Each structure stands twice: as C-alpha cells, then as structure tokens.
Structure 1
Amino acid sequence: MDDFLAWFRDFAWAGWGILAVGLAALEMLTMDLTLLMLASGALAGGLTALVVPGLWWLQVIVAVVVAVLTLLLLRPTLLDRVRNAPGYRSSLESLVGSSGRATAQIDARGGEAKVSGQVWDARSFDPDVTIAEGHEIEVYGLDGVTLIVYPVRPQGQLGSN
C-alpha cells in the first residue's frame, strides 16, 4: 500500500489524466457536456500536479474550481450553440414522423402507443377519431411528452402487419 501511495504522490498527474480521459470517454454516452466539463477540471488538476506535485490540496481546489466554472459558464453557452444549430432535433422531436402501433385505445383524451421500441402516452390528432388497440399509427407532433398520433390507414383496413 505504501508503494502505491508513493507512486501516486510522484505521478499524481497520471491519475488526473486517467480521470480526465475516462470522463471524456463517458461523455460520449451522455452527450450532455457535463462529464466533459468535469474532465476539464481533472485536466486542470493534472496540470497543477505537474507544476506543484506535492500540493494535493491545491490540485483538488484547482480541479473543482475549473470544473464548476466550466459547468456554470461554458456549458450553457455550448448547449445553446448546439441546440440552435441548423437541423438540430432533440431525441423527442426525432419521433415526429415515426410509425408505431397503438398498445391501448387512443382517443382525444389519451391512450398508449409503442414507437421506436418504447411505450408512450398518446393522444389522437383528430378529436373525432378513436384509434383501436393494435392499429398502426404515425406520430404527428408532441405535447410535452405525449405523442399526438393519427392512424396510418382507416380503421377498417388493419391489414396483416
């Protein structure tokens, strides 16, 4: 254990670097920019470890301050740029135009549909149309997290899908 602590004390920059690379790699799973900002803090901690290797408390303070500043100042700006880029669609908005199947009766008050492998609350686009369970639907729009749907074919033509 003493050997590990001695190594870590001498090569703390490597530990910070591994943490930064790990957080940046995990960012690829979330795409929320939070872990990337934490990775920048770890990178700053690693750079501090290179400059002042014995002051672990300073390394931690620098890492935390950089992570908090990037989370509060840089992340919102980057998210706005991404969300306002031409052609950007959130994962919910990408459901518009998708097809699925009614898993429960859908009318103007509500219902349920399975779209893209997930079950969603759904409501009929036309208040006069009731969509039977099992009928194929298409997503017209969104109301919060409720899908606004319409039947792909008239009710009498369910077909053999």
Structure 2
Amino acid sequence: MDWLGNHLWAAWMVLAVALGVAEMVSLDLILIMIAVGAVVGALAALASFPLILQVLLAAGSSAAMLALVRPNLVKKLHQGPDLVTGMNKLVGQQGVVTEELSTHHPGRVKLAGEIWSACPYDESLTIAPGATVEVFAIRGATAYVHPIGELMP
C-alpha cells in the first residue's frame, strides 16, 4: 500500500488507459473525456497535490471536457457533405443548348456529356442553339435551364 501512495500517478494513468481502451468499444466519446480527467489527476499526483485535490481536478476537467469539448466534437463527426447522386447532381451544372428551347417546344441540352430533353425555367424565354445554360431543376427526364448571364429577360 505504501507503493501506491508513492506512485498514485501510475494508478491514475492505468485508469486513463483503461478508459481509453473502453472508449474504443463504446465510441460515445464519453469515456475518453473522463480519461482526460484521469490524466489531469495523474499530473496532479506528480505535482504531489493531496488526494482530494487530485480527485477534484480530475472530476472538474472531466466535467469540462464533457460539457465543452464533446458536444462540438460529436457535431463535427456527425456532419459531413451531403451525397448528391443521380439526376440531382446535374442541378447547378452548365450545358450547351443543341436544339432551340421554348415552353411549348422542348429542345435538347448537352449536360455532362449526355443529351437531355430541356425546357426553359422561365416560361417566357426561348433559348437558341449554342447558348450556355445552367440547370435550375430536373423533373422526370427534363432539365429546366436558364441562360447564363441573363437574370431577367
């Protein structure tokens, strides 16, 4: 028991490692925050602080990690880029009109190396062949496009 009193920092480090290993199983980011508190307790033990102060510092740092660090870390890990697949990845891309487009006469547009049927997004427009357009929406197999550089007719 005398050895443990002189090497209390080692007990804190064993606790920190055990919590770190247990975190690998749970993946909740809770045990690793408590493990950081155990490391703070080990540092306090190395500085020869009394046991009650070691426990208070470990508990305080664990609580701070859980309250301040974990929410931001969980939020960062759970967010990511939205995966856009299929037709929706064409929205916002540019293409070239190959056949004249009007509301009453759908034409064709070359988008991403493929020919699509297309209509003007603005029903009052007629878009001539060779014009560069941007895809605003895709409904069914029809791309709704608007000429680039022209916001209002």
Q: Residue 28 of structure 2 aligns with which residue?
A: 32
Q: Residue 57 of structure 1 aligns with which residue?
A: 52
Matches within 5 A, 1:39-118: 39-53=35-49, 55-86=50-81
Q: Which amino acid aligns with 1:67?
A: S
Q: Which amino acid aligns with 2:24?
A: M
Q: Residue 20 of structure 1 aligns with which residue?
A: 16
Percent identity, aligned pairs only, is 37
TM-score by structure 2 length?
0.52
Task: Note closer, same or farther for the CA distance 1:87–1:15 as it changes in structure 2 (3 Å cut).
Answer: farther
- Quote the Cα distance in structure 2 between the aligned partners of 1:28 and 1:12: 25
Please report the RMSD computed on the Cα atoms of aligned residues, expressed in angstroms. Answer: 1.6
Residue 75 of structure 1, CA deviation: 0.4
Task: Note closer, same or farther for the CA distance 1:87–1:31 as it changes in structure 2 (3 Å cut).
Answer: farther
Instruction: Give CA-to-partner distance per residue, 1:29-52, whole Å, 9 cap, x none.
Output: 010100000000000000000012
Q: Which amino acid aligns with 2:56?
A: I
- Quote the Cα distance in structure 2 between the aligned partners of 1:86 and 1:23: 31
Task: Note closer, same or farther for the CA distance 1:45–1:87 as it changes in structure 2 (3 Å cut).
Answer: farther
Kindly tell me the number of residue pairs found equivalent between the two proteins: 83
Residue 8 of structure 1, CA deviation: 1.1
Stretches of structure 1 lacking an aligned partner (at least 5 in a row): 89-161
Q: For 1:33, what is the secondary structure of its paired residue?
A: coil
Residue 7 of structure 1, CA deviation: 1.1
Query: Given the alignment of the two structures, is residue 8 of structure 1 paired with residue 14 of structure 2, yes or no?
Result: no
Residue 73 of structure 1, CA deviation: 0.5
Residue 77 of structure 1, CA deviation: 0.5
Instruction: Give CA-to-partner distance per residue, 1:59-108, whole Å, 9 cap, x none.
Output: 000000000000011000000000013479xxxxxxxxxxxxxxxxxxxx
TM-score by structure 1 length?
0.49
